[in-house]
Amino acid sequence: MLGESQDGPSPEGDHPPYPVGLRLAGRRVVVVGGGHVAQRRVPALIAAGADVLLVSPQVTPALEGLAGEITWEQRRFEPGDLDDAWYVVAATNDPHANELVSTECERRRIFCVRADDASAASAWTPAVGRHAGLTVAVLANREPRKSAGVRDEIMGALQDGTLSARATHDRTPGVVLVGGGPGDPALATVAARQALASADVVVADRLAPRELLDELPAHVELVDVAKLPRGRSATQEAINDVIVARAREGKRVVRFKGGDGFVFGRGYEEVLACQAAGVPVSVVPGITSSIAVPAAVGIPVTHRGVAHEFTVISGHLPPDHPQSLVEWGAVARMRGTVVLLMAVHNAGAIAEVLVAGGRPASTPVAVVVEGTMPEERTVLTTLGALGADIEAQSVRPPAIIVVGDVVAVARPEHYPAPEVVVPERTSHAAGDAPAGAAGGTGQD
Ligand code: SAH
């Protein structure tokens, strides 16, 4: 028989906890303690809309940063703090203080979790994950590592589609323009995977991560753009036609692209085509190869004191081409990083105009071929030798060409040390960036 006891919660015996979803919007939740446990719990409580009262003489800087969204009483706990509470988190590092809170909760019949002693608590916090409007909560019998592990497996399976939550997917007809990242399927976003899992039709580019397409269920129609008839504009019209036609048939169409769909991806042409046809269209941003591919081989596009700008340029036209929209002379006069896409063919000519315009021929250059993919390789060279090295090393697209001293920062064994200009610390007006932010303190 389980009975009430004055000196603590009822013994649980072997009874499993009874799961429930608390709807805390607008309801008072009291968090006692301002350390790392509170720091993990409070953001989730805020996200649930709870009216959080935090009681603690000291709090972590992260909690202090939340002060505008919660009420913080900077003192020790008093029983009156529980007056309007629906739910309580006892998370001090002092077991006696937690005991005091949970005993008072027990007396008032308020459920209370305890950071120090789950067996003495009336409620437990599950390991939580969220996916496409689903909340996954896992409780292992007071074994947080186990519950987190199971939660991670469920979340992973939901995200990669191994575990299908089809009933929860958005099935509205229309087109979703999805950026798939640079190639490694691990660099596709959760939103990209969700969109793929909800598709009736997937129209995929050559550079979209192929491995994710293998995971598509058999009923999904796959249109491979690489196999459409050749010729750039004809291909684009055919793509526009197919996405609009399928959406008009009531299908949910995912237009799946490499990197980000709006970075040299002709994505906005497809948005316009959908709008012109009256077909609903939405956009899932992707991780663009222009930043991610250099990062994946350890090259930063900016570095404090070395590069305060980076410019991403399409090199698909040679510099002297009448339709070129790039001011190569201006680019040559800048000192920051230049990231060239679609530039393998014209690399030599581009290097020449950059040198002619003032960039030293010794400027370090990295050519990253098939970045983040199994055949990835990096060719290190200089602006002066770029054209010849592309030939000599048989570089073929897709490749990203990174021009600038950041390459020397990342490959010091290969290049002389670059000049580093460390900004002096200056005071800024209130509300401005922290001193030295132009060089990237990384604090924002
Ligand atoms: N929308 C894409 C870029 C499309 S343009 C994005 O945001 O990443 C195509 C060019 O991108 C290629 O010619 C190449 O220069 C570059 N690129 C894309 N993926 C790449 C990869 N995995 N490795 C190297 N270069 C890549």
How many alpha carbons fall within 13 Å on the CB side of residue 160?
Answer: 13
**To test the ligand 1 pocket, which listed residue (256, 341, 379) has its Cβ within 8 A of the most ligand atoms?**
341
* The pLDDT of residue 374: 93
The pair phi, psi for residue 160, each rounded to 5°, is: -90, 5
Count CA atoms within 13 Å of residue 315 on its CB side: 27
The radius of gyration of the chain from alpha carbons, rounded to an integer in Å, stands at 28
Backbone angles phi, psi at 250, to 5 degrees: 95, 15
CA separation, residue 75 to residues 19, 102, 108, 189, 353 (Å): 33, 18, 22, 42, 66
CA 221 / ligand 1 centre spacing (Å): 25
227 is catalytic: yes
Per-residue pLDDT of the chain (444 residues; tens, 9 = 90+): 444 344 444 455 678 899 999 999 999 999 999 999 999 999 999 999 999 999 999 999 999 999 899 999 999 999 999 999 999 999 999 999 999 999 999 999 999 999 999 899 999 999 999 887 889 999 988 888 999 999 999 998 887 767 776 666 778 899 999 999 999 999 999 899 989 988 999 999 988 998 898 888 889 999 988 777 666 566 889 999 999 999 999 999 999 999 999 999 899 999 999 999 999 999 999 999 999 999 999 999 999 999 999 999 999 999 999 999 999 999 999 999 999 999 999 999 999 999 999 999 999 999 999 999 999 999 999 999 999 999 999 999 999 999 999 999 999 999 999 999 986 766 554 444 444 444 444 445
Tell me how far the alpha carbon of residue 394 lies from the centroid of ligand 1, in angstroms.
18
Long-range contacts of range 67-71, CB-CB < 8 Å, 24 or more positions apart? Answer: 70/42, 70/46
pLDDT of residue 168: 66
Distance 208 CA to ligand 1 centre (A): 9
Active site residue 205: yes
**DSSP string of 96-120?**
HHHHHHHHHHHHHT-EEEESS-GGG
Q: Active-site residue among 51, 81, 184, 205? A: 205
Q: How far, in Å, from the CA of 290 to the mean position of ligand 1? A: 7
Q: What domains can be seen in the chain, in order of their start residue?
A: 2-6+19-125 (3.40.50.720), 169-287 (3.40.1010.10), 291-410 (3.30.950.10)
Q: What type of residue sits at position 417?
A: A
- Measured in degrees and rounded to the nearest 5, phi and psi for residue 256 equal -105, 120
What confidence score (pLDDT) does residue 229 get? 63
Distance 400 CA to ligand 1 centre (A): 7
Residue 368 CA, closest ligand 1 atom number: 24
Residue tagged active-site, from 7, 14, 214, 227: 227
* β-bridge partners, 174: 252
Residues with CB under 6 A from ligand 1: 182-183, 207, 257-260, 263-265, 288-290, 293, 341-342, 368, 370-373, 397-400
Of the candidates 347, 353, 337, which has an alpha carbon nearest to the alpha carbon of residue 367? 347
Distance CA 376, CA 298 (A): 13
User: What gap in Å lies between CA 217 and CA 262, rounded to an integer?
Assistant: 27
Residue 246 contacts residue 216 (beta carbons within 8 Å): no
pLDDT in the model for residue 438: 44
Which of 291, 400, 403 to probe ligand 1 with, by most ligand atoms within 8 A of CB?
400
Q: Which ligand 1 atom minimizes the distance to the CA of 267?
A: 1
Q: Which of 93, 98, 99 is nearest to 34 (CA)?
A: 93
